Amino acid sequence: METNLPTAPAIDNDPHPVAIVASRYNAEFTDGLLAGAQKELEALLPAAEIDVFRVPGAFEIPVTVEALCRRDSQRPAAIIALGVIIRGKTAHADLIATGLTESLSRSATSHLIPVIHEVLLVDHERDAAARCGLDSPINRGTEAARAAAEMIRLFRAIRP
């Protein structure tokens, strides 16, 4: 497990619409991801309009991301997908994670909108806690926000 976050990109004061789609399932962990992402976005993109969309579970994240990609007005400059899937004794978690990953990738590439995938698949709650706590040096929500800010900057250079 990586124990350091990537370096934060420079602050971008331009207004950008950013969407966060976060699962309510495993809220004790997902809420930490969401708080980390929001805090970092506010620091890196202070003029951004951040919309948060809560969905019941990880399975509902891809359809919500796709709907946001298809918006006629205010299409997001980036979308962050947040959730936590904890493996059990069946293959259900792996099936959800695989389908979700494929769907998010398809939405990103077909609509050319950066979709940052931070839906974590972990074996144990302790693994989730290590990656989701606000006091954790590797809060993956913070990492997702940094990736979103970097991709917004890159896409602005590609499509001025």
Specify the CATH number for 17-158; select among 3.30.465.10, 3.10.20.600, 3.40.50.960, 1.10.150.120.
3.40.50.960
Residue 47 φ/ψ, nearest 5 degrees = -95, 5
Task: Considering the candidates 92, 111, 117, 124, report the single residue annotated as catalytic.
Answer: 92
Query: Is 117 a known active-site residue?
Result: no
Going from N- to C-terminal start, the domains of the chain cover 17-158
Q: What is the pLDDT of residues 77-111, one digit of tens each?
A: 999 999 999 998 789 899 999 999 999 999 999 99
Report yes or no on whether pTM surpasses 0.85.
Answer: yes
Instruction: For residue 21, give the H/E element and its range.
Output: strand 17-23
For residues 47-56, give the mean pLDDT: 97
Q: What is the pLDDT of residue 5?
A: 73
**CB atoms near residue 19 (< 10 Å):** 26
CA–CA dist 128, 82 (Å, integer): 12
Percent of the chain predicted with pLDDT > 70: 98
